Structures are given as C-alpha cells and as structure tokens.
Amino acid sequence: MTLPRGLFDHNRIVRVVLTGGAGFLGSHLADRLLAEGHRVVIVDNFVTGSRQNIAHLGSNPNVLVLEQDCSTSLQVAGDVDFVAHFASPASPDDFKRIPLDVLRVGSHGTENCLNLCTVKGAKFIFASTSEVYGDPVISPQPESYWGNVNPIGIRSVYDEAKRFGEAITMAYHRYRKVDTRIIRFFNTYGPRMRLDDGRVVPNFVSQALRGEPLTVYGDGSNTRSFGYYADAIDCVYRLMMSNEHDPVNIGSQEERTMLEFAQAVIKATGSTSRIEHMPAAEDDPKQRRPDTTRAKQILGWEPTTSLEDGLAATIEYFRTIV
C-alpha cells in the first residue's frame, strides 16, 4: 500500500497512546498500529470498552494496557510519540444512560490528551464524528459545513462534547503548536461493536438473528451511510501519517433509509423477522452522508468494502455472540 509521506520515518517504531483502545474502533486501530510495527499503550476505563476486544493482544510485548479514566487524568510513563483519543461512548442510548461520562471524555478527556502531547512532544489525533453536523440541512456534508446542532437536546452531550473536542484540538494546534489531526467518523460498523449498544447495526442484526421484530424508529425514512471499520481505520492510519490538520470526513456514500437497511439485514441474515415501527427518537438526524472528497484528494483514500460484504462479515461476528 502506498501511504502519503508523513512527518516521521515509517521505519521508526512509534509509541502510540490510544485512549478507548478496548472499544470497537480503538481496538481495530490498535491492531493496525501493531501490524505496522508500532507500540501501543491502550488506555481504557472499560465503561463501554471490552476486555474481549483486546484479549488477542494479551501476550504481545508491544502492547501495554492501562486501566485509567482519561477524563480524570492521563498518566503514561516513558516516551510517547502519538496520542490517539478514541475514548467515548458513541451510542444514542449511552447519551441518555451516561451523559456526564460522554461530556467529560470529549472535554476533560481531550484536554488531558492534549496536555500529555504537550509534555511528551507527541502528535495528536482526535476521533470526532458526523454528529458535529447535527441534523444537517445540506447533503452530502462536506467538512466546511458548520452544522445544525441543538445545544441543549438529548444528543447535545455527545455533539457538543465532540465540537468542544475539535475546538480545543485546534486551539492547542494554533496556540501551543501541537501537531494535531481530526477525523470525523460517519456511522462506522463491523465486528466488535457491542451487542447491546443500542445503535441500529447491532440492534437490527441481533434482532434478525434471534427472529425478533426489527425495531424501526419512526417511519424509517431517516438515512444513514454505513462505513466498514476496515476502510475507516485505513483512513485513520493515512491521516496519522499525513500533515493534515483540518478535519477529514470518513465514511461511505452508500446512503440508505432505515427501512431499506432493515430489509437488507433481513435478507443478509435469511431471517424471518418482521419490521415493527417504534416511536421516533428525539432529535434524530433525518439524513447523513459524508462528502469524502478531501479524504480522497489528501490521503488517496477510497473505501473498498461494499455494504453487502461488510454486513456479511458483521453478521458472522454477531452470530458468534448472540
């Protein structure tokens, strides 16, 4: 694979502090970094992360696992070359269940990571989200769009914490000269998502596998564009190796209504489940699709996994844990 030229020599072993390293995306990023020959310090408080996601790394000498809440403090001894802040609950169910944790990890957690970068002379990447666009009134959403966010709504604990996280990242970049990057994930899915996380992919897949009704909220006309984790992680790695400081969207162009997606899951699982409409969720964005032109232009990145293939692999994973 050809990667863009980066700030550090690719042959040098880099030590990366990865918050949320036991989470869905974090654990996949850990695997990628290790495969590229780097060393990883996984920091997780296991509030939504899982020891199972990193069990396969148990004996790897290039991995250190620290059980810490990065929102409270972030203590890592020794050299640190990069900090990747991937810790955060990310499901709308979590926003209602543990709203203060969500706010704190996006705000205090991000600041603690940036302070560690300042002390260690490390680079930084912030895992942000399409939620910074709120309920977008333009589609697809380019990085230049400022969004349409309800600052006091049920989802604001996540949206505003991530917006604050982006703001403090840029402030440390501008005023403290930290070498930063921001990636905005759009509905990324795949193996290692939490079965009970409450988001649409684990919900529909587990419901279909159990033969239960698929719970479509509202009339099912909301759209999402589902991006497979392996494509997203490839983009993260490219961004880490690049010199790009402005936010980069990452996701898929395969936009579906939730009704279409429910039908796709039923077909892919061969389930006999029916669809059941439930009350619409509050402040639920009506549409979402990333404009990924920048990722292509700057990082030479393009997704390679179709929704059909990604869904098949995800269903295989959920079959093992349902």
Work out how close the CB of 64 gets to ligand UDP at its nearest, in angstroms, rounded to a whole number. 32
- Say whether residue 162 binds ligand UDP (CB under 6 A): no
- Say whether residue 184 binds ligand UDP (CB under 6 A): no
Interacting residue with ligand UDP among 200, 233, 235, 265 (CB under 6 A) = 200
**Known catalytic residue at 158:** yes
- Say whether residue 28 binds ligand UDP (CB under 6 A): no
Name the catalytic one among 133, 158, 228, 229. Answer: 158
Dihedral sign of CA atoms 243, 109, 314, 279 in order = negative
Q: Is 322 exposed, middle or buried (0-12, 13-18, 19+ CB in 10 A)?
A: middle
- Say whether residue 110 binds ligand UDP (CB under 6 A): no
Phi, psi of 122 (to 5 degrees): -95, 160
Per-residue contact flags (x/-) with ligand UDP for residues 69 to 108, judged by CB under 6 A: ----------------------xx----------------
Interaction residues for ligand UDP, span 260-279 (CB under 6 A):
none
- Say whether residue 258 binds ligand UDP (CB under 6 A): yes
Nearer to ligand UDP, 4 or 213 (CB): 213
Q: How far apart are CA 68 and CA 308, in angstroms?
A: 37
Nearer to ligand UDP, 62 or 317 (CB): 317
Work out how close the CB of 207 gets to ligand UDP at its nearest, in angstroms, rounded to a whole number. 8
Nearer to ligand UDP, 110 or 188 (CB): 188
Per-residue contact flags (x/-) with ligand UDP for residues 278 to 297, judged by CB under 6 A: ---x--x-------------
Q: How far apart are CA 134 and CA 128, in angstroms?
A: 13
The closest of 115, 17, 119 to 72, measured between CA atoms, is: 115
Q: Label the pairing between strands 180-185 and 188-189.
A: unpaired
Which segments of the chain does DSSP mark as H helices, in order? 24-35, 92-97, 99-106, 108-120, 156-175, 200-210, 229-241, 258-269, 293-299, 307-321
Whether the Cβ atoms of residue 190 and residue 229 lie closer than 8 Å to each other: yes
Q: Which residues bind ligand UDP (CB under 6 A)?
A: 91-92, 187, 199-200, 203, 215-217, 222, 224, 258, 281, 284
